[in-house]
Amino acid sequence: MASRLYRTTRQLFVAVERTLLRLQLSSLGTPTLTALITLVVTGLILLDARPTQTRLARFLPARCHDALNRLSRQMPFSSRALLALLLAFAKRLGRDGYLVLDDVIVEKARAKYLRWAARIYSFKEKRSVWGFQVIVLLWCSSDGQWRIPVGFRLWRPKRSCRKTRYQTKLQLAETLVRAVVQSGLPIHYIVGDTHYTAGWFTKRLAHLGLVWQGTLDPKTKVLWRGKQQSVRDLAPKLKVKWRSQLQVRATALRVYAPKYGHIRLVVVKNRHGNWEYLVTNALHADLTTIVERKRRRWPIETVFRDSKQFASLEACQCRVDQALVRHVALVFLTCVVLQLLRDSPDEAVATVKERWQLAILRDGERPPLPLRACPAELRPTA
């Protein structure tokens, strides 16, 4: 298939193909399926906008757009099996890590006939938007070098499924976490935001043997020194100390909550003067560890940003359910491929994509010398 590509794009296709062989993509199905997935991932890296099947076939003429359409709609291909390959790759790395659980809203303002879409409140936009939600379970290495999505589920609104088959986001998340724990992936703890710190959900996590970390809702009732009160009323009564290594004022205490049982609570007053209530079932964890674990939730936000800006998560224009789910799976696969194409562990995903795009544009030629009239400090970008 590489022989049918342009000379400039052939090197990127070969690099992606080599990377997908490292992920053992060939075990997913036929060689034709492997080649088509490699072609789509190459197109997602090459194009910045509108990576439709027609444009992919125009820039990468190895196969026509009909073959790419069959890949997303008809070919026997399991998106869960694809994510299982990423999970197996995370295990082969042999590194310690932790899980981050969160969801992302993919806005589809005009997709009124998309069965996955519904009106959802976006905390980023501070308003309700029309789109669909993806619940993502991310595995991060403790050294911060790897961010690998090991599972995802699309949330379906009530209007588009039978009442007996409807599942909430927490129920979908429980299925994801259970599958990852049973796979034997090394996990130190799991961290999430307030929505994923519900009482029954954290009890399921504890039953699976996980150390969970999250944020309490301000209205949550706790029992401290024989008095039951909300954490919002308890926080002003506590003496919070300045923690120079964390740059916040915080204090830690052990309380009892009817919904959670005995928990470790850290009350934090950030630099903006707002209160935060961090909670975990690790009763002997110190304050610094709890705050740092909560801050390590941030990599999933960068994965959402990278998948939208550099892997075209919002670009799917198909209303077929199977095509939409497969597009999301291929986007997360592209995020992992970009990490595998790094020259150094600290290289950003955006830099990797820009480097390959520039290599295709230059085609091995050296850039011209800068103009003499250009100041010395501006010559590298002239």
User: Cα separation of 146 and 185, whole Å?
Assistant: 14
- Measured between alpha carbons, how far is residue 141 from residues 86, 146, 168, 296, 348 in Å? 14, 5, 28, 11, 16
User: Cα separation of 268 and 101, whole Å?
Assistant: 22
Does residue 111 form part of some domain?
no
Convert the pLDDT of each residue in 123-165 to its tens digit: 888 888 898 999 999 999 999 999 999 999 999 988 888 888 8
Count of helix runs (H) and strand runs (E) in the chain: 12, 12
Write down the pLDDT at residue 368.
79
Task: Answer whether residue 338 shows pLDDT above 60.
Answer: yes
- DSSP code of residue 195: G
Do residue 339 and residue 252 come from a single domain? Answer: no
Mean pLDDT (whole number) for 197-204: 94
Reported as a pLDDT band with limits 50, 70 and 90, residue 260 is very high
Angle separating helix axes 321-340 and 298-309, nearest 10 degrees: 110
**Out of 10-14, 144-148, 266-270, 375-379, which region has the weakest mean confidence (pLDDT)?**
375-379
Do residue 342 and residue 256 come from a single domain? Answer: no
Task: Answer whether residue 288 shows pLDDT above 70.
Answer: yes
Residue 236 φ/ψ region, left for φ over 0, alpha for ψ in the -120 to 50 degree band, beta for the rest: alpha
- pLDDT > 90: what percent of the chain? 71
Task: Answer whether residue 382 shows pLDDT above 60.
Answer: no
Do residue 198 and residue 291 come from a single domain? Answer: yes
Task: Answer whether residue 27 shows pLDDT above 70.
Answer: yes
More confident residue, 65 or 279: 279
Does residue 313 form part of some domain?
no
CA dihedral 133, 179, 187, 194 (to 10 degrees): 30
Do residue 336 and residue 283 come from a single domain? Answer: no
Do residue 215 and residue 286 come from a single domain? Answer: yes
Do residue 216 and residue 255 come from a single domain? Answer: yes
Do residue 221 and residue 281 come from a single domain? Answer: yes
Does residue 301 form part of some domain?
no
| Of residues 346, 365, 330, 305, the one with CA closest to residue 45 | 330
More confident residue, 343 or 381: 343
Q: How many CA atoms lie within 13 A of 74 on its CB side?
A: 5
Do residue 292 and residue 327 come from a single domain? Answer: no
Write down the pLDDT at residue 282.
93
Does residue 374 form part of some domain?
no
Do residue 212 and residue 267 come from a single domain? Answer: yes
More confident residue, 316 or 343: 343
In the block, tokens 């990468």 appear at 60
Mean pLDDT (whole number) for 185-208: 94
User: Cα separation of 172 and 152, whole Å?
Assistant: 9
- pTM for this one? 0.92
Q: Does an H or E element contain 19, and which?
A: helix 7-22
What range does the domain containing 45 cover?
2-78+319-362
Most confident among 104-108, 155-159, 187-191, 321-325 (mean pLDDT): 187-191
Instruction: Give the total number of structural domains in the chain.
Output: 2
